[in-house]
Structure 1
Amino acid sequence: MTAPVSIENATKTFGSFTALDDVSLDIAAGEFIVLLGPSGCGKTTLLSILGGFLSPTKGRIAIGGRDMTNVPPARRPTTTMFQDYALFPHMKLKDNVGFGLRMRGVGKAEREERAKGFLDLVGLKASADKKPHELSGGQRQRVALARALAVDPDVLLLDEPLGALDLKLRRQMQDELKSIQKRVGTTFVHVTHDQEEAMAIADRIVVMNQGKIEDCGPPSDIYMRPRSRFSAGFMGEANFVPAKVKSVDVGGAKLETPIGSIVIARSNFTGGAPVEGRTVTLCIRPEHFRRATEAAELGTALGEAVVTGIAFFGTHYRCHLKATDAPGLSIVAHMPQSAELVEGTRVALAVNPADIVALPDHARN
């Protein structure tokens, strides 16, 4: 089964501390939502409120159109999967997976059949009679997922379930988790602080900060068109360049920056239409910088910089640069594998204006 989720003005306070601050979010049935943010941002508090482990100080939670605000966890159409798996060490895998069904009074034969079906879903049917200690970390994670899905929840809540796995296995499990979610069609709400994980699995990412939603949308939108400086910085490496709007016309806005002038489209302003005289902050991802000689007709020159540090990352060189005309401005740029750069090299930089996002600069205006 699956169901939509509606969160309306959810607030949670602990004494004088506000962990969740007037959060509203609609989740479609069958959607894979990822709550992303740093420690203390409110994402786990929101997940706990959805699961019924915490009650909101204010606000309303609905699942499948039914008010669940004050319904206890056992009576909600949700299950929660935790990072530590919490498998019973003395039980066989089929009994671990079928435990929730047993608590609901499902007979042994039906329980085992359904448990084996969900173990098959996660690729472990042949291991049904093994115990958890005989499995790897990734396999135990699959068993925990099978157990959570076996009770047929409308919504599956996942609290950093991949956090205990090593990098290679975590990447593998991200693919498997996404594939399984598509097959079963259950609404997934997944908490993580790993930006790459969020982009790999989410239909939509909800970026949270200080108890509020900073940004919400498909991974490509969150990365390429962030709505706030926090969202831009948290979703990956970014260069933030101060700029002032010099003029505006139907074709776009001309901006002056410490490393040169540039014209960008009005649609690239995320905080509203550009206004002459106002300051903004330009967000430029490292991979969008190019050497002027490589930028061809799409690039706009943005001055010269000196390489102060360089590291090879396989797919690219990650370069630290200092702008010649603005020594106080540090830039991180990804250069191609073929780049022959060393510290001290002078590089003429360029960028495609379509790749630049102008963020509101409330502190300056």
Structure 2
Amino acid sequence: MTATVSIENATKTFGNFTALDDVCLEINAGEFIVLLGPSGCGKTTLLSILGGFLVPTKGRIAIGGKEMTNVPPAKRPTTTMFQDYALFPHMKLKDNVGFGLRMRGVGKAQREERAKAFLDLVGLKSSADKKPHELSGGQRQRVALARALAVDPDVLLLDEPLGALDLKLRRQMQDELKAIQKRVGTTFIHVTHDQEEAMAIGDRIVVMNQGKIEDFGPPSEIYMRPRSLFAAGFMGEVNFVPGTISDVDSSHAIVETRLGKVSLPKACFTAGTPSAGQPTTLCIRPEHFRRAGEGDVAVTALGQATVASSAFFGTHYRCHLAPASAPETSIIAHMPQSAAVMEGQAVNIAVNVGDIVALPSKQA
């Protein structure tokens, strides 16, 4: 089964501390949603409210169109999967997976059949009679997922379930988790602080900060067209170039910066309509810089810069550049593998203006 989730004006306070501040969110049935943000941003508080472990100070929660705000966890159409797996060490895998069904009064033969079916879903049917201590961390994570799905929840809540795994296994499990979600069709709501993980698995990402939603959308949109400076900075590496809008016409705005004057299409202003005199910050990803004259796309020159340092990362050179017009400013740029970049070298840098995002500086 699967269900929509509606969060209306959810707020949670603990004494004088506001952990969640007037959050509104609509989640479609069958979506894989990722709540992303730093520690203390409110993502786990929101997940706990959805699971019924916390009651919002104010606001409303609905799942599948039904009021759930004050419904206890056991009576909600949700299950929660935690980072520590919480498997019973004395039970066989099939009994761990079938435990929730046992609590619901399902007969032994039926729950064992269902448990084996879900162990098969996660690739562990042949290990049904083993105990958790005989498994690797990744296998135990799969058992916990099978147990959560065996009770047929409308919504599965995942609280940093991959956080205890090493990098290689975590990436493997990201792929498997996404594939399993597509097969079962259940609505997944997944908490993480790992930006790469969020982009790898999420249909849409909710970027949170200080109890509020900063941005919400598909991974590519959050990365390429962020709507706040926090979202831009949290979703990977970015250069922030302060400036001021000097002129605006029907289609473009002129922004004066320390790197020079840049004419931007209005579509680059993702957080509102530009106006003359407005302080603005240009957000430029390192991979969007290039040396003037490279590539086929028309670019805007940003002047000459000196390579202060560079390191080869396999797919690119990561360079720190000191612009001639603002030598105190450090620009991080990714140059292609074929670029022969050396410390002290002078390069003419450019960028496709369509790749720049301009956001109001007051959001910093």
Partner of 1:224: 224
1:1-365 to 2 correspondences below 5 Å? 1-362=1-362
Q: CA offset at residue 277 of structure 1?
A: 2.1
Q: Check conservation: 1:225, 1:357, Cα contact below 8 A.
A: yes
Partner SS state of residue 147, structure 2: helix
What CA distance in whole angstroms lies between the structure 2 residues aligned with 1:234 and 1:149? 31
Greater mean alpha carbon deviation, residues 251-260 or residues 140-149: 251-260
Write out per-residue CA displacement over residues 252-307 of structure 1, whole angstroms, 9 at most, x where no aligned residue.
11222111222111011022111122221000000000011314451110011111
Q: CA offset at residue 363 of structure 1?
A: 6.7
Q: Check conservation: 2:158, 2:190, Cα contact below 8 A.
A: yes
Q: 1:187 corresponds to which letter in structure 2?
A: T
What CA distance in whole angstroms lies between the structure 2 residues aligned with 1:313 and 1:85? 35
Q: Check conservation: 1:38, 1:193, Cα contact below 8 A.
A: yes
Partner SS state of residue 142, structure 2: helix
What CA distance in whole angstroms lies between the structure 1 residues aligned with 2:111 and 2:251? 65
Q: Check conservation: 1:156, 1:188, Cα contact below 8 A.
A: yes
Structure 1: which 5+ runs fail to align? none
Q: 2:249 corresponds to which letter in structure 1?
A: D
Write out per-residue CA displacement over residues 195-251 of structure 1, whole angstroms, 9 at most, x where no aligned residue.
000001001100000000000000011000000000000001000001222222223
Partner SS state of residue 215, structure 2: strand
Q: CA offset at residue 330 of structure 1?
A: 1.0
Q: CA offset at residue 101 of structure 1?
A: 0.4
Q: Check conservation: 1:295, 1:350, Cα contact below 8 A.
A: no
What CA distance in whole angstroms lies between the structure 2 residues aligned with 1:161 and 1:75? 23
Q: Check conservation: 1:13, 1:20, Cα contact below 8 A.
A: yes
Q: 2:85 corresponds to which letter in structure 1?
A: Y
Partner SS state of residue 156, structure 2: strand
Q: Check conservation: 1:248, 1:275, Cα contact below 8 A.
A: yes
Q: Check conservation: 1:295, 1:351, Cα contact below 8 A.
A: no
- Please report the RMSD computed on the Cα atoms of aligned residues, expressed in angstroms: 1.1
Q: Which runs of 4+ in 1 moved over 6 A?
A: none
What CA distance in whole angstroms lies between the structure 2 residues aligned with 1:140 and 1:313? 34
What CA distance in whole angstroms lies between the structure 1 residues aligned with 2:110 and 2:296? 65
Q: Check conservation: 1:5, 1:61, Cα contact below 8 A.
A: yes
Q: CA offset at residue 339 of structure 1?
A: 1.4
TM-score, normalised relative to structure 2: 0.98
Q: Check conservation: 1:241, 1:282, Cα contact below 8 A.
A: yes
Q: Check conservation: 2:229, 2:363, Cα contact below 8 A.
A: no
Q: CA offset at residue 78 of structure 1?
A: 0.4
TM-score, normalised relative to structure 1: 0.98
Greater mean alpha carbon deviation, residues 326-335 or residues 47-56: 326-335
Q: 1:54 corresponds to which letter in structure 2?
A: L
Q: Check conservation: 1:244, 1:280, Cα contact below 8 A.
A: yes
Partner SS state of residue 362, structure 1: helix
What CA distance in whole angstroms lies between the structure 2 residues aligned with 1:298 and 1:90? 65
Structure 2: which 5+ runs fail to align? none
Q: Check conservation: 1:270, 1:360, Cα contact below 8 A.
A: no
What CA distance in whole angstroms lies between the structure 1 residues aligned with 2:287 and 2:3? 39
Q: Check conservation: 1:308, 1:321, Cα contact below 8 A.
A: yes
What CA distance in whole angstroms lies between the structure 2 residues aligned with 1:249 and 1:123? 59
